[in-house]
Structures are given as C-alpha cells and as structure tokens.
Structure 1
C-alpha cells in the first residue's frame, strides 16, 4: 500500500519540481500532471505527482495523516483533525439508495 502525501511546489523545474511537506523538500516527478506553478498543491505517491489538489484538500489529507500518526502512538484525542466529518451524518452513495 502506498499513501499519498500533499506537497506544495516551491520551484517548478519542467518535468520535475522541488516540493515541500512538513518542512522537508524533495524532487517530484511531474510527468503525470504537467508543469505546475509555484504554490500549487499536489498529491504525491512515491516521488511522483499523481493529482493537482486544492489547498483545502491538502489540509484535509495532512490532518488525516497527522491523526494516523497520533493514533499509532496511542493518542485518542484526534476528532479535531476530522472537523469536516464530526457531527455529519454518513451518506450512502447514490447507487445504494433506493
């Protein structure tokens, strides 16, 4: 299994880009998404950008990854990291509704 990491472009370099996540930089292959401007958010798997995402989506993914890290350390106070889900009723996908 591979987990996507939200990274922000800090320097476009044509077929690659220098990106940052949690203070660490890395060179990301941009072949699947094309060149992106400085400040763009990407969902990165194994040093390859697979999707251009919004800043809000990047924050949600970052929060979920942080919740996972905390849970692995035994922390249970992680609801604040799922603010978009707390107090929301689950919805069935359209094809399962009848």
Structure 2
C-alpha cells in the first residue's frame, strides 16, 4: 500500500524541490507536476509529487494520517482528527423524500 503524504515546498528547482513533510525536510521529484512556488503543497508518493493540493486538503490528509498513528497506538476516540465530520449526516438529494 502506498500513502500520499502532504509536503510543503521550501525551495524549488527544475526537477526537484526541497520540501517540509511530516518527517522533516526531503527532496521531492516534481517532474509530474512541474515547478511550484515556495509555500505550495504537494501530495507525494515515494518521494515524488503526484498532485498539487491546497492547504486545506493537506491539513485534512495530515489529520487522517495522524489518526492512523493514533489507532496504531491504541487510541479509540478519533473525533479530534476528523473535525470536518462533526455534523449530522445528510442523505444525498436523490434519496430524500420529496416534500409537497
């Protein structure tokens, strides 16, 4: 299994960028996404960027990865990791009963 890890660009060259990820600084291959400005977020697989993402998505992915770490450590309350899910579930429009 391969997990996408968010990393923020610190400095960018033609083919590689120096990025800050959860495990510190790393060299990321950017040939699939092209050069990116410092501060940009990349979704990386095996030290290669596959997608440019926004900061909100990077935070959500980082929270989900932190939840995996918490589960591995024996945690059972994961609500702190999924704040975006703190809402009443809604049925999709096509499943709702039409109101007259």
State if a TM-score over 0.5 links the two structures. yes
Partner of 2:35: 35
TM-score by length of 2: 0.86
Rounded Cα–Cα distance in structure 1 between residues aligned with 2:35 and 2:51? 12
Alignment length (residue pairs): 95
Residue 80 of structure 1: SS of its match in structure 2?
helix
Q: Identify unmatched segments of 5+ residues in structure 1.
A: none
Partner of 1:66: 66
Rounded Cα–Cα distance in structure 1 between residues aligned with 2:7 and 2:81? 18
Partner of 1:6: 6
Rounded Cα–Cα distance in structure 2 between residues aligned with 1:17 and 1:60? 22
Taking only aligned residues, the RMSD between alpha carbons, in angstroms, comes to 1.6
Displaced runs of 4 or more, over 6 A? none
Residue 17 of structure 1: SS of its match in structure 2?
strand
Q: Could you tell me how far 1:76 is from its partner in structure 2?
A: 1.3
Give the 5 Å matches for 1:70-81. Answer: 70-81=70-81
TM-score by length of 1: 0.88
Q: Could you tell me how far 1:88 is from its partner in structure 2?
A: 3.8
Rounded Cα–Cα distance in structure 2 between residues aligned with 1:7 and 1:34? 15
